[in-house]
């Protein structure tokens, strides 16, 4: 089993090119199923989740190949509508193949997906919305069978109880080839939703309103392939900015999605870092010890502070002057990383959905086990800033979202290796 060995205490400095977005790439790969001809996707990150999505596509009959960061997907010969339980378990985002398969074939067999254990993440909202579109769904022993009696879903008006990213994506994927018009009220507004819609429009879909809470979709009989570039990964960007800020370092982040990262940047700026931005470039300088964030950091759906950035910022603030308070409003079990940070010397108290972080004088190297994707990244940040040597195991979680994170750290002058 692989692990990371990190010797902390080094100031990070340099330039990084931000990887493509995992949370955009996965639904866009699923969306390629809806096309009648080849899709070429640029800026695909080399991640285990992306490779899992590729295996699912190949399993149902697509031809999916990678060269560097480009995926070429030929969906012309989809021959299977069942996705094995083993493949579904590999990642949480596998559930979006349900909407894509329904949009392509009018039927599918999937299972309850896997991914990080962040507490209950029911897919009831997905199933309820698809049922409103005329999809017949039966569930037996974790296996979900879906079919549309006429071969195509029916456009309708759907109001989501919560602006769920996954449910919004599944409805969009099913609706773009449905009969008639679909309206999604209280839709998720995340930038990755806009990227998915941008790809589908490039394939001929008729979608309007993405980025707002009301999305309108006019169903088309068929979509065509296209060439498309995946947006940059705003959460990977937040991770590297937090890492360099905590190390009192300096970073030029290129290929950045500056506007989409504003909810995070506005909070990070309160720590005393100097931050300058252009359309696709972020410069950060942190010459001194960070300051605690004055206001409570509440995770919320976009455009609020992203839940995926909570853990990495917490790791940085564990060495700040003063006390910062986090409030996690998206997932129930998103503080599982705090045990490892406390083991390294952080002063963190968790009370329900609130975490109180009092800046410690210093952190110390320790052995830790990654609990989930972003929690694992938080442990890397703490280890980079700690005195001495740390070992982080179960790094399979980290590899789900960061492309060769150890090489990025070494490029910035850190001491991190994979063994």
Establish whether 23 is an annotated binding residue: yes
Q: Say which residue the tokens 């963190």 belong to.
A: 348
DSSP conformational letter for 44: -
Establish whether 92 is an annotated binding residue: yes
Establish whether 63 is an annotated binding residue: no
Q: 29 — phi, psi (to 5°)?
A: -60, -40
CA atoms within 13 Å, Cβ hemisphere of 33: 33
Determine the 3-state secondary structure of 145 from DSSP. strand
397, containing H or E segment:
helix 396-399
Establish whether 330 is an annotated binding residue: yes
Q: What share of the chain is helix, strand, coil (3-state, %, to 5)?
A: 35, 30, 40
Cα angle at 395 between 229 and 381, to 5 degrees? 80
Establish whether 281 is an annotated binding residue: no
Determine the 3-state secondary structure of 52 from DSSP. helix
Nearest to 326 by CA among 367, 302, 297, 361: 297
- Asked if 325 contacts 313 with a C-beta cutoff of 8 angstroms, the reply is no
What distance in Å separates the CA atoms of residue 207 and residue 204, rounded to the nearest whole number?
9
**DSSP string of 54-65, one letter each residue:** HHHHHHTT-EEE
Taken in order 92, 97, 102, 108, the sign of the CA dihedral is: negative
Tokens found for residue 249: 């370092």
Our answer to whether residue 146 is catalytic in this structure is: no
What distance in Å separates the CA atoms of residue 390 and residue 373, rounded to the nearest whole number?
18
What distance in Å separates the CA atoms of residue 269 and residue 276, rounded to the nearest whole number?
10
Q: Say which residue the tokens 């378990």 belong to.
A: 89
Q: Say which residue the tokens 């507490």 belong to.
A: 119
- Asked if 201 contacts 225 with a C-beta cutoff of 8 angstroms, the reply is no
Length of the chain equals 419
Q: 159 — phi, psi (to 5°)?
A: -115, 115
Nearest to 164 by CA among 227, 222, 96: 96
What distance in Å separates the CA atoms of residue 316 and residue 330, rounded to the nearest whole number?
21
**Catalytic residue chosen out of the listed positions 62, 116, 146, 197:** 116
Which residues have a catalytic role annotated?
116
Residues of each annotated binding site? 22-23, 92, 308, 330
Residues of each annotated binding site for phosphoenolpyruvate? 22-23
């Amino acid at each position: 089993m692989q692990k990371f060995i990190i010797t902390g205490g080094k100031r990070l400095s340099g330039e990084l090119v931000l990887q493509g977005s995992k949370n955009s790439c996965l639904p866009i790969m699923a969306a390629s199923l809806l096309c009648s001809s080849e899709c070429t996707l640029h800026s695909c990150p080399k991640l285990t989740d992306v490779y899992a999505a590729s295996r699912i596509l190949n399993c149902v009959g697509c031809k999916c190949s990678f060269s560097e960061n480009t995926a070429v997907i030929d969906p012309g010969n989809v021959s299977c509508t069942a996705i094995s339980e083993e493949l579904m378990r590999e990642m949480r985002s596998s559930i979006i193949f349900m909407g894509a398969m329904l949009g392509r074939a009018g039927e599918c067999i999937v299972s309850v997906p896997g991914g990080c254990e962040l507490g209950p993440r029911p897919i009831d909202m997905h199933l309820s919305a698809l049922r409103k579109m005329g999809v017949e769904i039966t569930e037996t022993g974790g296996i979900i069978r879906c079919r549309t009696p006429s071969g195509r879903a029916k456009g309708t008006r759907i109001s989501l109880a919560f602006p769920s990213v996954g449910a919004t994506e599944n409805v969009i994927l099913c609706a773009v080839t449905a009969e008639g018009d679909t309206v999604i009220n209280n839709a998720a507004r995340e930038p990755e939703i806009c990227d998915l819609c941008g790809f589908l429009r490039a394939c001929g879909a008729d979608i309007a309103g993405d980025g707002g809470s009301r999305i309108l979709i006019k169903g088309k009989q068929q979509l065509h392939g296209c060439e498309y570039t995946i947006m940059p990964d705003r959460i990977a960007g937040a991770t590297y900015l937090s890492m360099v800020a905590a190390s009192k370092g300096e970073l030029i982040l290129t290929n950045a999605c500056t506007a989409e990262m504003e909810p995070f940047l506005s909070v990070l700026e309160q720590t005393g870092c100097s931050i300058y931005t252009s359309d696709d470039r972020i410069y950060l300088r942190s010459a001194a010890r960070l300051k605690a964030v004055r206001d409570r950091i509440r995770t919320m759906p976009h455009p609020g502070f992203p839940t995926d950035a909570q853990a990495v910022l917490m790791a940085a603030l564990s060495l700040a002057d003063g006390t910062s308070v986090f409030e996690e409003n998206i997932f129930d079990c998103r503080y599982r990383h705090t045990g490892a940070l406390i083991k390294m010397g952080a002063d963190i108290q968790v009370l329900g959905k609130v975490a109180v972080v009092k800046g410690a004088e210093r952190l110390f190297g320790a052995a830790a086990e990654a609990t989930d994707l972003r929690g694992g990244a938080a442990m890397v940040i703490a280890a980079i800033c700690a005195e001495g040597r740390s070992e982080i195991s179960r790094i399979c979680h980290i590899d789900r979202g960061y492309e060769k994170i150890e090489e990025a750290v070494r490029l910035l002058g850190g001491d991190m290796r994979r063994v």
